[in-house]
Structure 1
Amino acid sequence: MNRFEVITPADLASASRLLAQDGHVAFAGGVDVVDLMKQGIVSPTALVNLKGLKELGGIEVRPSGELRLGATAKLSEVAEHPAIRARFTAIAEAASETATPQIRNLATVGGNLLQRPRCWYFRNPDVNCLKKSGDKCYAFGGLNRYHAILGGDPAFIVHPSNLAPALIAMRASATIVGPAGEHTIELEKFFTLPTVDPKRENSLKPGEIITEVIVPAPSASVSSHYLEAREKQSFDWPLVSVAIALDRAPGEKTIRDARVVMGAVAPVPWRSHEAEAALKGGPLDEPRARAAAKAALKGAQPMTDNAYKVVMAKVIVRRAIMSAAGLEAA
C-alpha cells in the first residue's frame, strides 16, 4: 500500500474541490476503499474524510412522509429505524441483510451504493481486465459462477449493493453536489451499464458527492419486501436478490402497480418491466407470481457456470412477490 494523507474538509464545497483532484478518494465508513487499497486496485495520494460533514448525515421521515437518508447514515441505523421498517420495509430488510452487524455499524448508505464489483478478476491486481483498461472480460469463457446473467456484455460483473434494488423499487432519487452545482437523479438512472463505460458503474463525475437519498412517501396501499439467497448465512454477498413493491387497491386484491428490481444478476440493479407487466391488472395468486418470475428472467443469458442463477432468481422473485402481498409462497 502506498503512502497517503487523510484530509478532513471543513465543508461540502471543500470536499468537492478536493475530490476533483487526481488521486483523491472519498471515504466515510471506508469498508470498500480499504479493501481496494489492500488489493492494489486503487492507490490514492489522499483520502478525503466525509464523516464529519453534517450535510451528509442523518435519517429523517419528513412531515410529507418522504424519507431522507443521509449519505453517511449507517446501515445499522437504516435497518433498525422503526418508521423505515414499518413504511419502507424492503429498505430496512435490505440494510439488515448486508454483511455483519459489525460492518453495518460502520458501513454507510453512500458507500453501499458506490462499492466496486466483487469480481475476482477485477479484484486481482495481476489481472488487467476490461474494467481496468484491459481488452477483455475474463469471466467470459473463464470462471463465472458469480457473474451476470442479464445485461453483462461486454463486462459481466454484478452490482454488489444490497440496498440499491430496494431503494429503486421504492422510487428513490439521489441528490448530488459537485463542481457544477447540485442536481437530483433517479437512482435507477444513476447506475450505468458497461456499454456506457466498462470501467465504471455509475454516472458520478470527479468532484461529485452523493449527499442524500430521497424516497417518496408510499401510499398506504403499497407493500414491499426484499429477499436474497447467498451461499453462507453469515457474512456473504447475495447470489441473487430482489426487491418488490406492490400497490393494491384498498380492500381489493388487484395489483395496480408493481416494481420488481433484482440484484446480483446484472452490472446494475436490474429492474424488470416484463415482470411488472405480468403482475399488473389482476389479482395476485401463486400462478401470477410464477408468471411474473418467469418474465423477469426471460432475457437471461447464463454463461458456462452460472445457469443456476436463472432457476434461483425465478424462485426468489416468486417468493418475494408472495411475501410482499402477505401471502404464503410454496
Structure 2
Amino acid sequence: MFDLADTLPFEPYNMSSPVHNEPEDLNSARGLSLSSDLPQTIVLDNDHDYAGPSGCHDVKSSCYRTYTDLFGPIIIDDDDEDEVPIPDKTNDMASEEFEPTSVQAAEVIANLALAIDHKKVSRFNISRADVWDGAVRGFRRSTYSESSDIFVKFTDDAGSFEEGLDTGGPKREFLTLLMTHLRNRPIFDGPPERRYLVYNSTAVREDEYFLAGKMIVVSIIHGGPAPHFLSKDFVNHLLGKTTFNTTVEDVTDEELQKALRQVQEAESEESLQDVILQYSTMFQTAGCLRHTKVHERQMLIEDYLRWYILGRNQIAIQSFQKVDNPCLTQYLSLIDSKRDWQVCSF
C-alpha cells in the first residue's frame, strides 16, 4: 500500500469525487502529479505500477512536514513555569460556609438600628480625662432615650468643648473608648482577652452590671465596636449552653491557681489527698470537697472552675442580663457559630 494514504487525501483517477480535475500528463512524474487547483492533493494513476514509498520520498517528506506543522498537537510540559495554577476551593468553601452568618448578624443589627430616631438626640459631654464618668452620667440622665441618636461633645482637661460637629466620628471614638474602659472595670476579671463577670457589692448597689449590658447594646446598634474580650464560656452560659472549657490560667488569684496546679500535678492518690486537705476550705466553699482518685482530679478542677467563673457570680450575671433589648442575645447567638472566637466574639 502507498504510505501517503495515511496522511494525505488522494483521488484515484476516473472515480467519483466532489471536485475532480484530470491531470495534465498521466505519464509524467511516474504517474503522480500535483493538482494546481487543489493544493496538497495527490492524484494517483490506478493503471500505473508504482515502485513503492522510495519513489515518493521527496514528496512524502515535504508534504508530511507541512501536515505535522499545521496539525501537530500542542504539548504542554507539566513543569512549565507559566502553568496556570488550579485554585484551591477548600478555603473558598470554608469562607462561604460562614458567610450567611455574617450577613445575618449585619441584618439583625441593621434592623435594630432602624428603631433609632435620628431627629432626636441624647447628648453626652465626655471629658477625655474621665470617659467612664461622662458615659455614666449620660446614660443615667433623665433625658436619655434608647430610641434617640447619640450626640457626643468632647471636652479637654480645662472643660472647654472641642470644636467641630459630631457627624459620626466623635460618636464612634466615644464608643470605642467606652468599650476599652469597660474591660478594665472591677466587674470583670480574668485574662485580658477572656474576661468574665465577677461579683462586686458596690457595682451591685449602683446597678453597674445592668448599665454595662446597656452600654454593649448601645455600642453595637449605634455603629461602635463590640467588646472583644468576653470569655467564650461566659458567653455560652449567657446563651444557656453547658459547654465549659475554662483552664487554670483563667484564674487570676495566684493562691487559688497554685492550689489547682498542685492538684493537677499530684501523681499518687496519697499526695492528691494531702493537697485537697490542705485547701479543703477552698474546695468546700465551692461545694466540691470530696474523696478524689488520681484519674478524677481533672473533674475536680473543672467543678471548681465552673463554680469560680459562673456559680459564685450568678447575681452579677442575672443583673447583666436584665437589659431590655433583644440585640445582646441575638448578637451573641449569631457570633457563637463563627470559626474564630477571638475575632468574632465580644
After TM superposition, is the score higher than 0.5? no
TM range (shorter): under 0.3
Report which of the two has the higher share of strand. Answer: 1
Q: Which gives a bigger RCO, structure 1 or 2 (Cα 8 Å, sep 6+)? A: 1
Structure showing greater Rg: 2
Report which of the two has the higher share of helix. Answer: 2
